[in-house]
Structure 1
Amino acid sequence: MNDLRAMLEFIVYEGAILALLFFTIAFAVAMLQQSLGNKLNDALGKTSLETGTVLAATAGAVTPFCSCSTVPVLSGMLRARVRFGICFTFLISSPVINEGVLLVLLREFSLAIAVVFLLVAGLLSIAFGIALDRLGFARFLRLAGPGFDIDDAVRVSSPGGAPATPWGMRARFAVMAALNELRASGPYLAVGIAIGALIYGYVPEDAIAQLQHQFPGLLLILVMAIAGLPFYVNATMVIPIAVALLGKGVAIGPVAAFLVSAAGTSIPEMILLTKLFRAPLVVSHVVAIVVSATVIGVVLEWASRFI
């Protein structure tokens, strides 16, 4: 009975939060496009891919989004015609550079270890954004269509010299655009939230801890990164899970790999991403999370012995 109540509470709470976030971001983007027009195009058009990914990784580091909550922000960025590589860096960095993991490292280890985590996670997010952009993975975006030029940082049309539209009219248009975006995303949100409710908060610490007896050395870190994929873990859940695993004798490398993977993606997020990404890009996102979690785990395991 308690489990059913927890599931219903999750559906209501997460559903309301994600629906509100989708609407707010879509509204803000529509207002921004109308208000700034070519000025925004000129400003972001001068931003290089490298600079943009650094800014996106920084923004991702300071935004406390879980994997699912990152998707509506990503949708807003793509519809604003922000360059694909910059968007992908934000998608990776926001949940991966997790404040929960950071607090665990500060509490259980040291400031130096926490700084190593921030640097490695940020560099990996930037590297994946640049690499996939250069490899042309923008072609797997479902949002791409007529007039969508991914080589520009942004593509917003606004007739020069046109009279300013009254704020109220712009706001009404933005509300309609946001509601249309929310309706289009509704089925994906519903399925994602339903699956998330089934697995939210369920992390079998004992079974995960037993993996350290089955896999030797660095292989355990990769296994833990893969094991974290299906779970739906947000920043508030990271600390108790980490403390439980560390208390069972699991080293920091495997623990960090599991937590980064679990926070970085989830089954509900993958379902939501299918609205924006085609299959090769969804798979690439999952691979990027596993690789990032594995590398972070290996580096932290090494650093904990010397720092």
Structure 2
Amino acid sequence: MIETARRTWRFLEPYHGMIYFAPEAAAAYKALGLSGRAGYFASRSAALGAVPAPVVVATFYNFNPVLVGQSLDGVWSSTDPAAVLAARYAGADQALRGILGDAITSPEMRRAATLLREAAETITGDVTGRPLFAAHAALPWPTEPHLILWHAQTLLREYRGDAHIAALLTAGLSGIEALVTHAASGAVPAETLRTSRAWSEDDWNAAVAGLRERDWLTDDAALTFTAAGAARRAEIEKATDENSAAPYAHLGESACVELQELVRPFSRALSEKLMPWALARQ
């Protein structure tokens, strides 16, 4: 069931992830006076309330704290979490309507929304140690199927994300060290991870050096795991998968496979339009 759960999450991830690349969402945040990274940090953390930057640093984990602080500086004095959440859902609605068209009212969309909501609702009480998930689980459910599906995947994404942070902390990795090991896995280019999280080259090189000293990485120029490092990273992924599988186990294998087939065209259309690099993962 673990592999099925992971595969189902990956099939659905573009359906949530599009919100970070949709121009409709950026425009909605900009109308509130939030431009650039301010829109990202405020919109994803708004469910927590008007919390200070260190809380966002803690729950987002691998971003440079300086970036978080600068992005959130003055945000909650110029707008409020309710307005930002409304803008986020409006952006999701507009983007999904624009890209998926009539599919948002299709029987396939209604069925997918029903299945994923069922999965998400089985874990809404499982909030211990999962702060970002808990905050989003406390939000009201939308009423339209395409937004129910988006909200459900948002919950499952943050549920998994909180589990992943717990696994990274248990493994003794800081936020930037987690990024370096992610790069070493080959999933995302190192430069993309470094720059998108606003770490300097000096910070990155220091993290690499530290991981080499701790036998996570070899001494060659490339980011290559040692045998021990590869085993530790595999344990992190295993722990994340195991601590994220409950909602999919509730649905069962056949319903998960059905869900994958239902959302495949939705996720593919969103990826083609907004996230072409994600197509190889589907």
Q: TM-score range by the shorter chain?
A: under 0.3
Structure of greater Rg: 1
* TM-score in terms of structure 2 length: 0.26
Q: Which structure ranks higher in relative contact order (CA pairs < 8 Å, sequence separation ≥ 6)? A: 2
